[in-house]
């Protein structure tokens, strides 16, 4: 268990980085790749499904931000460590997906899909806050 601190700075940092990532996703992602994707000739249902998936990611990013910021401010909430660990797992796994696909698709040019550079630190900070602190 962590000490009696009123805040968990690791979770706050993870939440803030996740919030920044959310805004990068919404703003930069709107112009590249969403707008070009929506202009393709892909079948309408497939296009709509993938567009929904994009916004499911948006929801996940923002809700993760709120959750991490909330437990960062009040780390004594029952289940806070479990929630942080779950979010950390998601973000580490998301990073692995980007790294694997980037490696395979772009011959190890991992900056072609740089999203892992923001996702992985969220996961690492969240897990540090859950297990290393205190």
How many residues in the chain? Answer: 134
Instruction: Indicate the pTM of the whole model.
Output: 0.90
In a domain, 2, yes or no: no
Give the per-residue pLDDT at 32: 87
Q: How many domains does the chain have?
A: 1
Q: How many other C-beta atoms lie within 10 A of the C-beta of residue 124?
A: 17
The answer to the question of residue 3 being in a domain is no
Q: Residue 54: give the domain boundaries.
A: 9-131
pLDDT digit string, tens, across residues 14-54: 999 999 999 999 999 989 889 999 999 999 999 999 999 99
Residue 6: burial class (beta carbons within 10 Å; 0-12, 13-18, 19+) = exposed
């Amino acid at each position: 268990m962590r000490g009696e601190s009123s805040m968990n700075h690791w979770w706050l940092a993870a939440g803030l980085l996740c919030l920044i990532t959310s805004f990068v996703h919404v703003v930069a992602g709107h112009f590249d790749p969403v707008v070009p994707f929506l202009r393709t000739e892909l079948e309408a249902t497939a296009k709509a499904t993938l567009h929904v998936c994009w916004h499911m990611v948006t929801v996940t990013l923002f809700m993760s931000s709120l959750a991490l910021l909330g437990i960062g401010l009040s780390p004594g909430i029952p289940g806070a460590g479990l929630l942080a660990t779950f979010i950390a797992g998601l973000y580490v796994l998301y990073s692995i997906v980007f790294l694997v696909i980037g490696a395979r698709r772009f011959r190890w040019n991992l900056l072609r899909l740089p999203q892992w550079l923001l996702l992985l630190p969220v996961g690492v900070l969240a897990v540090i806050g859950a297990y290393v602190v205190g």
